[in-house]
């Protein structure tokens, strides 16, 4: 796409993060990327436009020259797509209005081939679980553990879906092993939590890498988006689905996401270092029953409290009690009440989402300020350590509730 990019010269991720998708700017006499808000584009040559529309409709390949209409493509969003594909190490990326719009497009792309069966591993983000389980798109799902994937695959299986680390327990799967078990069925890995800074699933055999760009890619809690990184063949189908169904990313969001990518490596590394320190402190805190933190690292921490998790949420002052994640400031939420509320209680529990679990997205504040706030919030919910069992598979039903 960009003439100056020479794929034979490999560049480090931090370099790509600030340069990918911007290679033509100097030639254009620009430093910041231009923001193109056009919904339509003039053309005096109707025959040529007809040919370009035919080309897009039959192949899904990106149009050469200006878009015809903003639902086909947008030059600002295309810069974000180019950059994200480079970071994930895929041919292409296709951006959508949200993470859920991106997952919807993937499911529709597979269903259009008659492949409506999905094999999936819990836990997934609550709404992803709901979209698969409720059958809104005619999807039929078989839930299994990673070891059961090969056996669960049927002739009409269009997709295998995993999240690693998973929302909200931070459970990980061996992506390479899972990709092998999938055979010729495409594996989708939701890489929202790890980001390409910590993990590039395509290198381990995932054909489809999904992000809620709303989280770390944007990184400032002010832009909603989704993106699928994949090979160009699948990207072409996704572009056709996006054109037909309209879940496009707004160009201003594309602009903000490209800007967010530039600082992604430093944000993720800094927040991860703070998260790792908080994990060390939580692990020895008598008020904490269990800490979840993935091998791959990252800025997400989950922990189970002996006391009442609602008291902890009500007790934070610096940390923001809110759903979502991946912003510059630290957020905490109670998955059983909020992010995974839509998943049936039994399914939630069997996926390891205890009623005592809290999920924290660590931001860029100073670690001592965060610890001071967290420890005072935990004190708002006195631990009953004498009675509470410290086992790995506590279910909330077995735990005595701390008195209020």
Ligand X SMILES: *Cc1c(COP(=O)(O)O)cnc(C)c1O
The mark string for 191-230 relative to ligand X (x by CB under 6 A, - otherwise) is -x-------------------x-xx--------x-x----
The smaller minimum CB distance to ligand X, of residues 212 and 354, is found at 212
Among 49-57, 125-133, 170-178, 200-208, which window interacts with ligand X (CB under 6 A)? Answer: 125-133
From the candidates 36, 73, 190, 355, which is the catalytic residue?
A: 190
HEC assignment per residue over 314-342 = HHCCCCEECCCCCCCCCEEECCCCCCCCC
Please indicate whether residue 190 is annotated as part of the active site: yes
Applying CB under 6 A, does 129 fall inside the site for ligand X? no
| Six token digits for residue 390 | 């410290």
The smaller minimum CB distance to ligand X, of residues 163 and 373, is found at 163
From the candidates 52, 62, 215, 267, which is the catalytic residue?
A: 215
Distance CA 99, CA 214 (A): 7
The smaller minimum CB distance to ligand X, of residues 139 and 192, is found at 192
Number of residues near ligand X (by CB under 6 A): 15
The smaller minimum CB distance to ligand X, of residues 202 and 300, is found at 300
Task: Give min distance, CB of 125 to ligand X, in A.
Answer: 3
Please indicate whether residue 215 is annotated as part of the active site: yes
The smaller minimum CB distance to ligand X, of residues 67 and 219, is found at 219
Among 27-35, 80-88, 122-130, 384-392, which window interacts with ligand X (CB under 6 A)? Answer: 122-130
Tell me which of 16, 129, 190, 373 binds ligand X, using CB under 6 A.
190
Query: Do 121 and 173 touch, CB atoms closer than 8 A?
Result: yes
How big is the CA angle at 360 (ends 355 and 362), to the nearest 5 degrees? 170
Among 15-23, 96-104, 274-282, 354-362, which window interacts with ligand X (CB under 6 A)? Answer: 96-104
| Six token digits for residue 259 | 């800007």
Among 93-101, 353-361, 363-371, 376-384, which window interacts with ligand X (CB under 6 A)? Answer: 93-101
Task: Give min distance, CB of 169 to ligand X, in A.
Answer: 12
The smaller minimum CB distance to ligand X, of residues 361 and 381, is found at 361
The mark string for 132-171 relative to ligand X (x by CB under 6 A, - otherwise) is -------------------------------x---x----
Three-state DSSP at 218 gives coil
Query: Do 240 and 60 touch, CB atoms closer than 8 A?
Result: yes
| Residue nearest ligand X, CB atom distance | 99
The smaller minimum CB distance to ligand X, of residues 324 and 385, is found at 324
| Six token digits for residue 170 | 């931070």
| Six token digits for residue 102 | 């991106």
The mark string for 52-91 relative to ligand X (x by CB under 6 A, - otherwise) is ----------------------------------------
| Six token digits for residue 324 | 């979502």
- Is the peptide bond prior to 165 cis by the omega test (within 30 degrees of 0)? yes
69: DSSP letter: B
Task: Give min distance, CB of 339 to ligand X, in A.
Answer: 8
Cα distances from 174 to residues 41, 151, 204, in angstroms, run: 46, 17, 9
Task: Give min distance, CB of 357 to ligand X, in A.
Answer: 15
Three-state DSSP at 89 gives coil
Per CB under 6 A, residues contacting ligand X are: 98-100, 125, 127-128, 163, 167, 190, 192, 212, 214-215, 224, 226
Residues marked as catalytic:
71, 125, 190, 215
């Amino acid at each position: 796409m960009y003439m100056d990019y020479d794929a034979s010269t490999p560049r480090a991720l931090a370099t790509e993060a600030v340069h990918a998708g911007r290679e033509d700017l100097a030639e254009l006499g620009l430093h910041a990327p231009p923001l193109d808000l056009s919904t339509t584009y003039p053309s005096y040559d109707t025959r040529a436009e007809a040919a370009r529309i035919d080309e897009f409709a039959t192949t899904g390949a990106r149009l050469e020259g200006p878009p015809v209409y903003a639902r086909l493509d947008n030059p600002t969003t295309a810069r974000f797509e180019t950059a994200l594909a480079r970071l994930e190490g895929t041919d292409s990326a296709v951006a959508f209005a949200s993470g859920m719009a991106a997952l919807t497009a993937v499911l529709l792309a597979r269903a259009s081939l008659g492949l409506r069966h999905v094999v999936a591993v819990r836990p997934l983000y609550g709404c992803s679980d709901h979209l698969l389980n409720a059958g809104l798109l005619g999807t039929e799902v078989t839930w299994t553990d990673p070891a059961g994937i090969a056996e669960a695959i049927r002739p009409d299986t269009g997709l295998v879906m995993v999240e690693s680390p998973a929302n909200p327990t931070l459970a990980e799967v061996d992506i390479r092993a899972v990709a092998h078990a999938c055979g010729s069925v495409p594996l989708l890995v939701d890489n929202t939590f790890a980001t390409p800074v910590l993990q590039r699933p395509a290198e381990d055999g995932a054909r489809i890498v999904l992000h809620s760009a709303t989280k770390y890619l944007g990184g400032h809690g002010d832009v909603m988006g989704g993106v699928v990184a994949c090979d160009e063949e699948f990207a072409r189908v996704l572009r056709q689905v996006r054109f037909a169904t309209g879940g496009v990313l707004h160009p201003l969001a594309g602009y903000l996401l490209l800007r967010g990518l530039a600082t992604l490596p430093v944000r993720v590394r800094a927040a991860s270092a703070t998260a790792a320190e908080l994990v060390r402190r939580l692990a020895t805190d008598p008020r904490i029953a269990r800490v979840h933190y993935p091998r791959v690292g990252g800025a997400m921490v989950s922990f189970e409290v002996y006391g009442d998790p609602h008291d902890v949420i009500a007790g934070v002052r610096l940390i923001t009690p809110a759903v979502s994640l991946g912003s510059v400031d630290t957020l905490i939420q109670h998955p059983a009440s909020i992010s995974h509320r839509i998943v049936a209680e039994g399914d939630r529990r069997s996926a390891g989402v205890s009623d005592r679990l809290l999920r924290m997205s660590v931001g860029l504040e100073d670690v001592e300020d965060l610890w001071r706030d967290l420890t005072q919030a935990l004190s708002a919910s006195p631990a009953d350590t004498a009675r509470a069992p410290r086992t790995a598979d506590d279910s909330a039903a077995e735990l005595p509730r701390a008195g209020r």
